[in-house]
Structure 1
Amino acid sequence: MTALGFLYPGHSAEDDYPRMEQLLGSDVRLPLVHTDLGEDVHRVDALRETGSAARLAAGVEELRLSGAEAVVWACAGGSFVYGWEGAHEQIRGLARTAGLPASSTALAFAHAVREIGVRRVAVAAAAYPDDVAALFASFLRDAGVEVVAVRGAGAGTAAHAGTWGEAEILALAREGDRPDADAVLLPDTALHTASHLPALERALGKPVLTAAQVTVWEALRLADRRVNAPGLGTLFTREPVVQT
């Protein structure tokens, strides 16, 4: 049995994790510990506070007691707002505190794009204002990813984004897609996407990477596990691309 731990800010779409545990269909557990979200706004200063070392450290002991072999900070905005180097420093601190391999949703997106072998992506964010969405695009560019479009839907808060169903998420993905994008990225960890990945990829005709999906994939990567799970989209079914 492999246990993979997640630090999740607040309460919006945490029920995606037991759903993904079922879809993995193997001996994998996904224990999750909630961290203090603080102010539910997508403002840079608030996101930096959400991802502060003290808030992350508060949930680490509970994850260690769960037997987690790796930990992922299940938040994109509370990582990429620190920039490429800052996000790595944040995770180095988390790894030291936890005594475990660690990563974040933001870094998971960079690794997942590389995994499926695409170069050009479109970003469709439910709740990010323009300045925060631009920071995510800059973060991806620093990772060597070409961002061809950024779309923000203006949902405002994580709580509101967490109420969206398949129709709203599909509309977001379609509005954010571009013909020259090889994949579409949905970076909000507040969106419920675990049940909708096959439908999203069928509708767009290309890979779709979502926050919850890449977060769990990243934890498996840290634990050196590979699980084939068609219900979780291209990322969980495609053979890794060999980088040259």
Structure 2
Amino acid sequence: MKTDLADGPAPQTGVGVVAPFDFRQDRELWRWVPGDVTVYLARTASVPSWDNLDMVSRLNRPSQVVGPTREVCGVGAEVVAYACTACAFTGGVERERALREAMRIEGARHAVTAASAAVEAIGQVGGTKVAVVHPYQRPVGDRLREFLTESGLAVADTTPLGLPVAQVYSVTYREVFDLVRRGDRDDADVVFVSCTALPTYDVIAPLEQELGKPVVTANQATMWAALRAIGKDLNGPGQSLALPSQETQSS
């Protein structure tokens, strides 16, 4: 069928992303969205970063998402996602809910965070006991375990890279491969890769093939939850989370 170029591109649905001030994985988020979705991204104000826990605790305040949420809603976002895992989980389940409520108050029809999205995504692929890998230093890693447990998941083990904040941005695919292989556990039915600063798009499918189980990552789960809220499918060839629900549960 011939396409009339004068018709222009397909009508777009807006996904708003509130990212921390130092976020660098913009392009990765775009790779998960279908062609009829546009990503509107806004960043939080910068905060001092004396250490990892101090920084994410400051970014865990609902006031941090107010301005960026207004910004993306102002250009038509139908769902808003807070794309910082630790910034959502570090205050526990109640604070994570408060972040989503703050986004709704500022105009988001639907609101998700990377942390809540991860829990939902793990359940979507049939996970109940999870092996967790992350780049955080110990205090933040401990908060992650507490959040997942409080959310109803069993944690087989957590494996950290234990990097200072500034070094997380230079983590490579090879390091993510090695971290996931090192962190997998026989009694875990899912591996979860936390932190939206880590690049993961191209490692998910090959790791799932190698390990024989789903691998869920923070950026992947965030975009999956945002797209699901507006009735759109995740663009992730070979990724368990991108399969239709019935295929995911039976795989």
TM-score, structure 2 length as denominator? 0.87
Q: Please point out which of 205, 211, 214 is paired with 1:204.
A: 211
Find the partner of 1:153 among 150, 161, 165.
161
CA RMSD of aligned residues (A): 1.9
Q: 1:55: how far off?
A: 2.0
- Alignment deviations for residues 153-205 of structure 1 (CA, whole Å, 9 cap, x no partner): 11221x42222222111001111111111111111110111222212222322
Bigger Rg, structure 1 or 2: 2
- 130-139 vs 41-50, which moves further: 41-50
Residue correspondence of structure 1 range 45-124 to structure 2 within 5 A = 45-124=54-133
The CA deviation string for residues 134-171 of structure 1, in whole angstroms up to 9 with x for no partner, is 211111111111101011111221x4222222211100
* Secondary structure at 1:58 match in 2: helix
> Out of 226, 229, 237, which is 1:231 matched to?
237
Q: Label 1:99 to 1:237 Cα distance change in 2 as closer, same or farther (>3 A).
A: closer
Q: 1:7 aligns with which of 1, 18, 34?
A: 18
Q: CA deviation at 1:86?
A: 1.8
Match in the other structure for 1:39:
48
Answer whether contact 1:125 1:133 (CA < 8 A) is retained: yes
Runs of 5+ consecutive residues of structure 2 not aligned to the other structure? 1-11
Question: For 2:234 and 2:120, how far apart are their aligned partners in 1?
Answer: 17
For normalisation by structure 1, the TM-score amounts to: 0.89
Q: Report the Cα distance in structure 1 between the residues aligned to 2:51 and 2:115, rounded to whole angstroms.
A: 15
Between 77-86 and 44-53, the greater mean CA deviation after superposition? 44-53
Q: Where does residue 144 of structure 2 map in the other structure?
A: 136
Residues in 2 aligned to 1:171 and 1:198: alpha-carbon distance in whole angstroms: 15
For 2:177, which of 167, 170, 176 is the aligned residue?
170
Q: Among the aligned pairs, what percent are the same residue? A: 28
2:31 touches 2:235 (CA, 8 Å); kept in 1? Answer: no
Partner of 2:223: 216
> How many equivalent residue pairs?
236
Point out where structure 1 has 5 or more consecutive residues left out of the alignment: none
Go from structure 1 to structure 2 and tell me whether the alpha carbon gap of 1:174 and 1:39 turns closer, same or farther (over 3 Å shift): farther
Does the aligned pair in 2 maintain the 1:194–1:232 contact within 8 Å? no
Change (3 A) 1:19 1:181: same
Q: How far is 1:228 from its partner?
A: 5.4
- Give the whole-Å Cα distance in 1 for the aligned partners of 2:221 and 2:190: 13
- 2:196 partner letter: T
Shift of 1:37: 4.2
Are residue 184 (structure 1) and residue 191 (structure 2) matched?
yes
